Chains A and B, each alone.
Chain A
Amino acid sequence: MSPQQKFWTVMGAVLALLVVASLIGWVLARRARSDGAGEVVANLNARIGAWWWMVAILCVCFLLGRVATLVLFALASFFALREFLTLTPTRRGDHLPLVLCFYLAIPLQYWLIGIDWYGLFAICIPVYGFLLLPAITALGGDTESFLERTTKIQWGLMLTVYCISYAPALLLLHVPGYEGQNLLLLLYLLLVVQISDVLQYVFGKLFGRHKLAPSVSPSKTVEGLLGGGLSAVAVGAGLWWITPFSLWGSAGMSLLIVVAGFLGGLALSAVKRSLGAKDWGQMIEGHGGMLDRLDSVSFAAPVFFHVVRYTLM
């Protein structure tokens, strides 16, 4: 099969699943009796609705190619950083560093992917950004909670720009024998991460008994993690034919993605709570904000990228 055929085969399956999910949601909404059940079903349906949007965006991305994909992820970084910093108390003295994060760091990071400059892409924010931003903040002269302020800005930048940019950076990889198919690798990453999220949610709602980290994320359960995670690994393994991996290799990669994604969701829940919020924002209906959807991607993408790069290049 050509990459196009592979893409549309996978998308066909995803669309069929979504149609089934939408039908189930519709039936549940008609049968929900109590207010509580109605609320759960409404939340489920909002999630399904948002999924339609995400799939539509992915298709557009695939149809329009590399530049569109980069622009799209740059926008995702933009909105994620906006959410992160909205919840982060900043002061007047942080204005210039923040302006640089939005108007310099984001375009630069994605431009480096666009021109295939791996070396600078990988160190630009962690080295130059890391050193330059606090220096600029210091020039502003405000030392009040200086370390807390600079740390929070750097965390936001690393997470929402650097880490998320690793997803489209998969286009940078030159895997021998897999030329011209890298968008499938991106599709693979996003599908496994998101399906893992959904299945953990579904398994947790159906069988969840033992809370995993109640003070951090009350909805995460052991049953949800195991059931959802392993099912997602199975789905990922079943997608081996769109990847450069063998069947077992694909299972291993999916396991890696699921574990990293889970840790991302957990760590970011803790960050969110320490900033005093339940959701990152209200951008995606039923999903909270952009970061509520991308938390697991932000952890899974860099790990997946580097493991693929190390093992296959």
Chain B
Amino acid sequence: MITARILVGLVRLLVGAHGRWLGCEPKPVQRIYFANHSSHLDTLALWAALPPLLRQRTRPVAARDYWGKGGLRGFIAEHGFHAVYIERDREHREGDPLEPLCEALAAGDSLIIFPEGTRSPDPLPQPFKAGLYHLARRHPQAELVAVYLDTLHRAMPKGSLLPVPLTCMVRFGRVLRLAEGEDKESFLQRAHAAVVELA
């Protein structure tokens, strides 16, 4: 609890990360927040932008190769925002890479994911990977909420060690649902467009 509070305070000081609920209300229902990814601050910023009640039940999906290596980062990921680790490296994968995510959803938690899979140097997101589609298919009860994080690609661009304090606004867009029989491509395009329209 204390770690989480300090973390949120630090994020507020550095990048503000205040949420704007444009397309939906901050309700305590199970959700999968998906957003554009341009910096290592994204995870913290989106998580900190949620109201405390929602934040407690929302777990960011974090790459094991960055957040899961122990040290300060590992401590933040484990005790701060209770990361759900995902294995990006194909060689280390055993079985279904989405398994830990599904477990968290089955336990009733909400998730934060970055469907690009890696950080983009641009303000607008790259095409989405298939993970979001598979989650939507397997967990139709969870609401999919598009989120756009601005400014962070300037605050901590790829390859930089220290963040520059710039105010980031976290825009929560509308709720998306996988339509009956909708194929992967068109769903991912729709999800991508929902994030882009918030930019």
**A82 and B165 contact, CB distance less than 8 A:** yes
A90–B123 CA distance with the chains assembled, in angstroms: 12
Interface residues of B in 129-183 (CB under 8 A from A): 151, 154, 157, 160, 162, 164-167
Interface size on B, residues (CB 8 A): 12
**A90 and B154 contact, CB distance less than 8 A:** yes
**B166 and A86 contact, CB distance less than 8 A:** yes
A83 touches B (CB below 8 Å): yes
B164 to chain A, nearest CB (A): 4
**A92 and B164 contact, CB distance less than 8 A:** no
A86–B16 CA distance with the chains assembled, in angstroms: 11
* Nearest A residue to B163, CB-CB: A99
The CB with the most chain A CB atoms within 10 A, among B121, B151, B160, B164, is that of B164
- Over the window 87-102 of chain A, the binary record of Cβ atoms lying under 8 Å from chain B Cβ atoms (1 yes, 0 no) is 0001010010011001
A78 touches B (CB below 8 Å): yes
Q: Contacts of A83 on B, CB cut-off 8 Å?
A: 167
Interface size on A, residues (CB 8 A): 15
Among B18, B157, B162, B167, contact of A82 (Cβ-Cβ < 8 Å): B167
A223–B116 CA distance with the chains assembled, in angstroms: 56
Q: Contacts of B162 on A, CB cut-off 8 Å?
A: 99, 103
**A85 and B164 contact, CB distance less than 8 A:** yes
Q: Contacts of A281 on B, CB cut-off 8 Å?
A: 167
A93–B119 CA distance with the chains assembled, in angstroms: 18
* Nearest B residue to A99, CB-CB: B162
Q: Contacts of A82 on B, CB cut-off 8 Å?
A: 16, 165-167
**A78 and B165 contact, CB distance less than 8 A:** yes
**A99 and B164 contact, CB distance less than 8 A:** yes
**B167 and A95 contact, CB distance less than 8 A:** no
Q: Contacts of B167 on A, CB cut-off 8 Å?
A: 82-83, 86, 281
**B166 and A95 contact, CB distance less than 8 A:** no
Interface residues of B in 1-52 (CB under 8 A from A): 16, 18
**B121 and A102 contact, CB distance less than 8 A:** no
A281–B164 CA distance with the chains assembled, in angstroms: 17
A29 to chain B, nearest CB (A): 26
Q: Contacts of B164 on A, CB cut-off 8 Å?
A: 85, 95, 98-99, 102
A25 to chain B, nearest CB (A): 26
Q: Contacts of B160 on A, CB cut-off 8 Å?
A: 95, 99
- Over the window 88-122 of chain B, the binary record of Cβ atoms lying under 8 Å from chain A Cβ atoms (1 yes, 0 no) is 00000000000000000000000000000000010
**Cβ contacts A to B, 19 pairs, < 8 Å:** A81-B165, A82-B16, A82-B165, A82-B166, A83-B167, A85-B164, A86-B166, A86-B167, A90-B154, A92-B121, A92-B157, A95-B157, A95-B160, A99-B160, A99-B162, A102-B164, A103-B162, A281-B167, A282-B18
Given contacts A90-B154, A99-B160, 9 further A-B contacts (CB under 8 A): A78-B165, A81-B165, A82-B166, A83-B167, A86-B166, A92-B157, A95-B160, A103-B162, A281-B167
List chain A positions with a Cβ less than 8 A from chain B.
Answer: 78, 81-83, 85-86, 90, 92, 95, 98-99, 102-103, 281-282
